[in-house]
Each structure stands twice: as structure tokens, then as C-alpha cells.
């Protein structure tokens, strides 16, 4: 998750190219800006929310990212007095907790140990 100024294709596509590996399958809704995702670099599958929230043929849905964004917004509402410079930090923490859940702290310690092994 990264903060962006707006959701236009001109803003989103460079972030997609910077942070998502070529060959990755991107699942999204049919927001017009996503039509500019380069087909040569990514496989792009969509769910048309005006018809279904889960595509009945491909199984594509955006429920995971919608849930993660909902968690992030809840956390940000609770931190409204926080300096906006820390937005990246809060988003990273939401992603970390989503990935590791109850084991967030122990996994943090394990990652620190990997980066800074005892010699």
C-alpha cells in the first residue's frame, strides 16, 4: 500500500510499474484508470461490480484489498492526530498485521534477526 495523490491512470500506472513485478496477475475492479495497466507486462483480470462482486467465470474479486483498505481507514481514523508524514508507516503496519495477524510481533523479531544475524 502506498499513498497516491489521485486515482488517475497517470498517477497509478507508474506506481504499478514500480512496485509490481512484471508477469504478476493483477486483480481489480473495472475502475477506468486500470484500463491503462500495460498488458505486455501484467495479466489483468477484473470483477465488474455492477454485475457481480465475484466474477462467476474467473472467481476474480477485490474483497481482500477492500478489507485491507477498510482496516487501514479504521486505523487512520483512530490516529487522526498523527503527523501525516507517518502515513506510510501506518499503511505498512496495517499490511504487516494483515499478513501475520496474531504472530505480528514474533515475525517482526524473526525478520530483524534475518537482517541482523548474530555473528
50: helix, strand or coil = coil
What string of pLDDT tens digits covers the 119 residues of the chain?
A: 888 889 999 999 999 999 999 999 999 999 999 989 988 899 999 999 899 899 999 999 999 888 888 888 887 777 666 677 888 888 888 888 888 888 888 888 998 999 998 87
Which residue pairs from 14-21 have beta carbons closer than 8 angstroms and sit at least 24 positions apart in sequence? 16/42, 17/41
Amino acid at each position: 500500500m502506498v499513498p497516491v495523490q489521485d486515482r488517475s491512470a497517470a498517477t497509478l500506472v507508474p506506481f504499478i510499474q514500480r512496485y509490481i513485478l512484471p508477469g504478476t496477475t493483477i486483480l481489480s475492479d473495472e475502475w477506468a484508470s486500470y484500463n491503462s495497466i500495460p498488458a505486455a507486462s501484467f495479466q489483468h483480470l477484473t470483477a465488474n461490480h455492477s454485475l457481480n462482486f465475484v466474477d462467476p467465470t474467473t472467481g476474480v474479486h477485490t474483497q481482500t484489498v477492500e478489507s485491507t483498505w477498510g482496516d487501514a481507514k479504521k486505523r487512520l481514523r483512530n490516529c487522526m492526530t498523527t503527523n501525516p508524514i507517518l502515513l506510510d508507516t501506518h499503511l505498512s503496519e496495517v499490511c504487516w498485521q494483515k499478513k501475520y495477524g496474531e504472530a505480528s510481533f514474533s515475525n517482526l523479531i524473526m525478520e530483524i534477526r534475518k537482517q541482523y544475524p548474530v555473528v
